[in-house]
């Protein structure tokens, strides 16, 4: 048999070599096997998302009611008309506020009332509204005006 001489004559085409391809596949497979162990699982990440804070006590929800006093004297409770401008006693508003107070006392939540008065509303109408709130025994009252602040 003749010894193999690569520089000797011949066509030089040895065909498809499978052994180098198998070596490359094993090296790539080994790389991915080693790197798979270094990947962190999501449950191992120490991240705190917003809103996951636990509270120590119960959270109280307040019932907020907005009473509007427009210039025409009509009373609006959460944008719903209550009593017309001519009535000083305001029976519909007083009855609604009493029901609200009873419901909030049963639920053990405070009632917060905000009176929004227009700048040209009559002061007597504000006093009538405060009288209705006093009849319903509601004490958390805030008074503000609806006018925009001037620069």
Q: What is the CATH number of the domain that holds 131?
A: 3.30.420.270
Query: Could you give the 3-state DSSP secondary structure of residue 64?
Result: strand
Q: What are phi and psi of 121, to 5 degrees?
A: -70, 150
What total of structural domains would you count in the chain? 1
Other residues' Cβ atoms within 10 Å of the Cβ of residue 129: 27
In tens, the pLDDT along 133-147 reads 999 888 889 888 876
Residue 49 lies in a domain: no
The answer to pTM > 0.95 is no
pLDDT in tens, the chain (151 residues): 566 666 655 566 777 888 889 999 999 999 998 888 877 666 655 666 676 556 566 556 666 889 988 888 888 888 888 888 777 788 888 888 999 888 888 878 888 899 998 888 888 888 888 898 999 888 889 888 876 655 4
Q: Is the Cβ–Cβ distance between 127 and 69 less than 8 Å?
A: no
Query: Could you give the 3-state DSSP secondary structure of residue 95?
Result: helix
Domain interval for residue 67: 63-145
Residue 128 lies in a domain: yes
């Amino acid at each position: 048999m003749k010894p193999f001489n690569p520089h000797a004559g011949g066509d030089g085409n040895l065909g498809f070599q499978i052994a180098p391809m198998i070596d490359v596949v094993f090296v790539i497979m080994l790389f991915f096997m080693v790197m798979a162990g270094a990947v962190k699982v999501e449950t191992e990440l120490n991240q705190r998302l917003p809103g996951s804070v636990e509270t120590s006590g119960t959270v109280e929800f307040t019932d907020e009611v907005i009473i509007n006093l427009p210039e025409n004297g009509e009373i609006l409770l959460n944008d719903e008309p209550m009593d017309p401008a001519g009535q000083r006693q305001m029976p519909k508003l007083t009855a609604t506020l009493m029901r609200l107070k009873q419901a909030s006392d049963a639920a053990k939540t405070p009632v917060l009332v905000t009176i929004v008065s227009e700048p040209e509303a009559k002061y007597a109408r504000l006093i009538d509204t405060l009288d209705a709130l006093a009849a319903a025994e509601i004490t958390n009252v805030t008074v503000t005006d609806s006018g925009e602040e001037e620069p």
